[in-house]
Amino acid sequence: MISVIIPLYNKEKYVAETINSVLAQSYTNFEVVIVNDGSTDGSLAVASTFSDSRIKVITIDNSGVSVARNTGIKTAKHDWVAFLDADDWWDPSFLAAMEKAIEGHPEHKLFASGRSRVFNEVTERYDHPLLPSEGETGTINYYRVISRYLPLINSSNVVIKKSHFDSAGYFIPGQKRHEDHDLWMRLAVNEPVVFVNRELSFYRKTDVNTISRGSFEADEFSAYINTILKVNSQLSIEEQGYFKKYYSRFISLVYLKYKKHYSKEERAGLSEQIKELIGPYCWIFIKTLGLLPLDKIYTLIKKDSN
């Protein structure tokens, strides 16, 4: 049995399609927990038009997507939790495929499906050589993937055992950027991702969610680095090698991109964390890179990661 968590904030135009994609699932043993995060448009009115007894709508003061998702998790009554953003949708067989994967891998806690990003005129399928063959299901090491590719998991293609949050933690309240990646890193410690390589989840790229959400605030960046430090200490030597390729690239790009937005004190605090993570010599290299234009930095770091 699966609880579907839909965080809802000002998605009046899309939320009906999202909800309908859940109600159209061939697997029917689910509940839907819609957490209205203080929407100011007609989102709540749209969500409230559905009379299906499996749907529960909760309204909270606007607190951000992390709090909305955490509220949904804590409200969920089933052993498994699936997330679906309020402008995304599923293939009708998504939950059935996830249930079959869970039955076939009862010892695991973290499941994901193939997904696509949908733009106005093109759809991009998530793909890379480490995935199981098309249509197949297999286990994949999360840290090996992110050393070179985008994460296996996003907030609309994942099903997680509810008890796993008790050990790995929840979304960090107030975190506006990379709040999902922060959690996926923690959930994947000693836990492979069971990946169903079928196109079952669809992530809508709209004008709204492609607009920058501003800089990566220093306190959020600091919390993200702390997560990396904690996770890294729990990994095997092989996984640490994969993970370092990811975080060295990510930390460098984020710091160099947003450092001008940080105060002198914030830069000093972040530099100490970064040096603890990657070492003083790599920190000197990052500072040297900062003398170059940002586009050249991106090119150099991308080339180094291949």
Please check the confidence at residue 305 and state whether its pLDDT lies above 80.
no
- The matching CATH number, chosen from 3.90.550.10, 3.40.50.10090, 2.30.29.30, 3.40.50.300, for 2-210 is 3.90.550.10
pLDDT band at 70 (very low <50, low <70, confident <90, very high): very high
Please check the confidence at residue 286 and state whether its pLDDT lies above 80.
no
Residue range 154-172, pLDDT digits in tens: 999 999 999 999 999 999 9
* Token representation of residue 168: 């790995």
The larger pLDDT score, comparing residue 6 to residue 260, is at 6
Nearest to 116 by CA among 200, 206, 181, 211: 200
- Mean pLDDT over 125-145 rounds to 97
Average pLDDT, the chain: 91
Please check the confidence at residue 211 and state whether its pLDDT lies above 50.
no
Cβ pair 275, 283 in contact under 8 A: yes
Enumerate the domain spans of the chain: 2-210, 218-305
Tell me the whole-structure pTM to 2 decimals.
0.91
Please check the confidence at residue 89 and state whether its pLDDT lies above 80.
yes
pLDDT value for 216: 85
Tell me the DSSP string of 108-155. Answer: --EEEEEEEEE-SS-EEE---TTSPPTT-EEEE-HHHHHTTS--S--T
